[in-house]
Structure formats: structure tokens, C-alpha cells
């Protein structure tokens, strides 16, 4: 029996690549693994190598392996809402026609983080906000009709950066002025008018915006069950069997950070991370620093092995309580309503 389609955004990064490889290795699972530009060799080379290593034999069109381990690489630019709509329209068409099995697992993994600069998208939003959150919000709404109505799972990749009180966060990043991440309003965060390099030229300005975007993701996905996505799924006759959850994968060696210090980006995030992550993961599996392989295993377990994980926030393999702001029902409801407006969604597009 087919396990359906798994769709992973940001599959070119360290965690996305590991999730894609583990998903592709599962029999009877069709993978759609997205990158900002799937035609770029620099974007696809590491992902293609990981997928070939994870799956046996050559695949159809050179993209998959045997028929029970098939996959494709697809372009999805979350920093462009028109690209999100085009992508979702194509996926919905293919599922409706029977060309693709229904989406069994939707993994909202793609991310963006910059420290000293603030980049705007063509849609006029802070790049961090749109790639981490708003693009995923729109994508999820548009793809809901194509999810498996009985066993569908939605997993968003969170971060401890959504919680200013988390002990992993260095002191001084979330000063009193910035401890309520959406206190200035969703619009200010979305438009890049909050925690700007002009008001704070340090790396903290970008880290705060990343934290705010991750807060939006966690609030949106529905933690606990009463919050927005899971609450709305539960109240929908069409989608009430679909479960949404979030996962904090911990710190991992990766290339997520853009426009930060050379020391932070290469010495700590990459060289140091790859050197120490295996040992620290062995010592403390849900600790500060983890390997992408370990965090990908946690994601796969939530999607396929844990029963009814709706509205749960995981820190690795453990259930975790998100921030107070993420658990505020009024914040989540307001965020949902404003996100529909920011994404320019029509009543027909808003499936919940």
C-alpha cells in the first residue's frame, strides 16, 4: 500500500537534505523535495548525492530510484508568493488527476536567517519573515485539498529562538524592549520595521527577526491543540483527521545563516558544528547541538510513527512547552487573520 507523497521545503539545506534522504529510503513513498531553484547545480548536487546514497538503484528520469523509492526535485521560491501559488496549483492538479498520491506528509522546513542586514522580498516583506513563515502559511492553505484526509501530517520546523526566555539564547539578544516578539504588531514584523539594523547594527537585530518568524510558525501550526491551524483542522469536516505539529531540531551544523560574521558562519556553524555534533548528539540526544541525521529521524518519527501528534511541540524526541506568547490564543488568532491579508488570499484560497 502506498504511503503517499511527502513534500519537503528547503530540501537543499542540512536538515532538509537529511529528511529527504530518510523519507526517500522508505518504501512506497513518493518524494517532492523543493529548492529555491532546482535547475541550479550548486543547489542540487549535495541533495542529489544524499538521495542516491539513500535509495537503491537508478530511478525514473534519473530523479528517483526504483518505483517504490521514487522522488523528484522541484523549484519553490517562498520569497515570491506568485511562485508559491504556481507551485501549489501544479501539485493540486497532479493530485486531483491521480498523477500523484495524496500528500501524506508536508514538512515546512525552508528557512532564512541574516544577522547584520535586512533584505526585502519582491512582495515587500522581510525576507526572514516571508521565507520562514508567510510563504509556508500560504503554501499550507493552498495544499490542504491535496493532503491525505485520513492520515495527513503537517510538520513545521521550529526553533528555541521563538522563546526569549529559552536558556540556550545568549543574554543581551532579547532585551526588555524586544521580549514580546509580536508586541509591535504583525505588520511591523512582516514589513521589516521591527528590530532593524538601523536601530541595532549588531547581529542581534537579525536574530530577533528570525525568532519572531519562528514564533509565527509555532503559533500558526497550533500548539497546543486549541491554537490556530490544529484548532481549525479539528473544526473542519473535511480536514479534521489531519494533524499538525512542530519540531525544534536544536542547533545543527548548516549554512542557514546569511550575511553574518565569518567566524559565526564558518568556524562555529559549519566546521565546529560538524566536528562536535556527533559526539554531543551521542552524549545528549536532545541537547544543544545535534546532527541533521538525528533531527531528521525525529521528524520522520513524528510524521510516520507517533500516533496522532496533532498540536504538539517537540524538542527532538521529547514533548516540549513552547513560549508563553506562542500559547496565547489571541496572538494566534490575530496572526492568522493578518496573515491572510498579508498573503493577499482570496476566500477561495483560504481553505480554513
- Which residues lie below 8 Å from residue 166, measured CB to CB, with a gap of 6+? 160, 323
Instruction: Judge whether 133 counts as a catalytic residue.
Output: no
Question: Would you give the DSSP letter of residue 311?
Answer: T
Which triple of cell numbers denotes residue 65? 530510484
The dihedrals phi and psi of 296, each to the nearest 5 degrees, come to -65, -40
Catalytic residue among 210, 241, 304, 313: 210
Cell 559526539: give the residue: 279
φ, ψ of residue 314 to 5 degrees: the values are: -105, 140
Nearest to 349 by CA among 81, 69, 1, 52: 81
Marked catalytic residue, from 30, 71, 214, 294: 214
Is 258 among the residues known to form the active site?
no
Q: Left (φ > 0), alpha (ψ -120 to 50) or beta: where does 344 sit? A: left
C-alpha cell belonging to residue 86:
504556481
CB atoms within 10 A of CB 85: 17
Beta-strand (E) ranges in the chain? 4-8, 29-35, 71-75, 103-108, 113-114, 153-157, 243-248, 257-258, 312-315, 318-319
Element containing residue 260 per DSSP (H, E): none
Q: Give 46's contacts (C-beta < 8 A, 6+ positions apart).
A: 12, 17
Active site residues: 210, 214
Amino acid at each position: 500500500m502506498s504511503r503517499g507523497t511527502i513534500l519537503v521545503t528547503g530540501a537543499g539545506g542540512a536538515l532538509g537534505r537529511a529528511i529527504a534522504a530518510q523519507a526517500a529510503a522508505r518504501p512506497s513513498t513518493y518524494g517532492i523535495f523543493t529548492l529555491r531553484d532546482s535547475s541550479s547545480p550548486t543547489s542540487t548536487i549535495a541533495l542529489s548525492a544524499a538521495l542516491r546514497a539513500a535509495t537503491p538503484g537508478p530511478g525514473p528520469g534519473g530523479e528517483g530510484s526504483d518505483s517504490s523509492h521514487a522522488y523528484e526535485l522541484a523549484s519553490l521560491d517562498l520569497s515570491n508568493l506568485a511562485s508559491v501559488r504556481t507551485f501549489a496549483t501544479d501539485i493540486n492538479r497532479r493530485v486531483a488527476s491521480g498523477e500523484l498520491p495524496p500528500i501524506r506528509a508536508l514538512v515546512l522546513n525552508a528557512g532564512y536567517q541574516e544577522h547584520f542586514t535586512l533584505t526585502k522580498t519582491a512582495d515587500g516583506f522581510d525576507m526572514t519573515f516571508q521565507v520562514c513563515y508567510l510563504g509556508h502559511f500560504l503554501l499550507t492553505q493552498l495544499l490542504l485539498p491535496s493532503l491525505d484526509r485520513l492520515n495527513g501530517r503537517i510538520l513545521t520546523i521550529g526553533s528555541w529562538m521563538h522563546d526569549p526566555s529559552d536558556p540556550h539564547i545568549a543574554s543581551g539578544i532579547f532585551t526588555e524592549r524586544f521580549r514580546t516578539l509580536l508586541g509591535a504588531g504583525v505588520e511591523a514584523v512582516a514589513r521589516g520595521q521591527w528590530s532593524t539594523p538601523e536601530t541595532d547594527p549588531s547581529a542581534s537585530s537579525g536574530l530577533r527577526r528570525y525568532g519572531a518568524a519562528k514564533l509565527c510558525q509555532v503559533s500558526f501550526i497550533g500548539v497546543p491543540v486549541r491554537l490556530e491551524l490544529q484548532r481549525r483542522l479539528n473544526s473542519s469536516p473535511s480536514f479534521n483527521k489531519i494533524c499538525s505539529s512542530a519540531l525544534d531540531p536544536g542547533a545543527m551544523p548548516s549554512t542557514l545563516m546569511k550575511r553574518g560574521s565569518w567566524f559565526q558562519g564558518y568556524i562555529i556553524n559549519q566546521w565546529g558544528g560538524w566536528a562536535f555534533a556527533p559526539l554531543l548528539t551521542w552524549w545528549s540526544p536532545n541537547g544543544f547541538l545535534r546532527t541533521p541525521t538525528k533531527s531528521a529521524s525525529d521528524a520522520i518519527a513524528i510524521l510516520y510513527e507517533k500516533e496522532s501528534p496533532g498540536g504538539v511541540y517537540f524538542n527532538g524526541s521529547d514533548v516540549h512547552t513552547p513560549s508563553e506568547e506562542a500559547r496565547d490564543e489571541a496572538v494566534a488568532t490575530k496572526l492568522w487573520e493578518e496573515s491572510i491579508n498579508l498573503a493577499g488570499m482570496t476566500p477561495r484560497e483560504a481553505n480554513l
